[in-house]
Amino acid sequence: MTVHKSQGSEFDHAALILPSQRTPVVTRELVYTAVTRARRRLSLYADERILSAAIATRTERRSGLAALFSSRE
């Protein structure tokens, strides 16, 4: 099951396996969501550098709402 599909659920044991190379989809928010799915135990399989980079990367949201509201002023 993917991290996204697990949102809203909890499991006694969850496992997070990060890729061996940096990728823009592995962000702080994704790691947080994965970690908080585990009630009792989390198995984390990741290179320390990849995990550190993920934690340092925040999701950049571009909904367009700011532009919509600023154009109405």
Indicate which CATH number applies to the domain containing 26.
3.40.50.300
Q: Which residue has the tokens 């799915």?
A: 37
Q: Is 18 helix (H, G, I), strand (E, B) or coil?
A: coil
What's the rounded Cα separation, in Å, for the pair 27 and 58? 6
pLDDT of residue 62 exceeding 80, the answer is no
Neighbours of 29 (CB within 10 A): 14
Provide the pLDDT confidence category of residue 58 given band limits of 50, 70 and 90: confident
Domain that holds residue 36: 3-71
Specify the pLDDT at position 16. Answer: 95
Q: Residues 5-17: what's their mean pLDDT?
A: 93
| Statement: residue 36 has pLDDT above 90 | yes
Domain count, the chain: 1
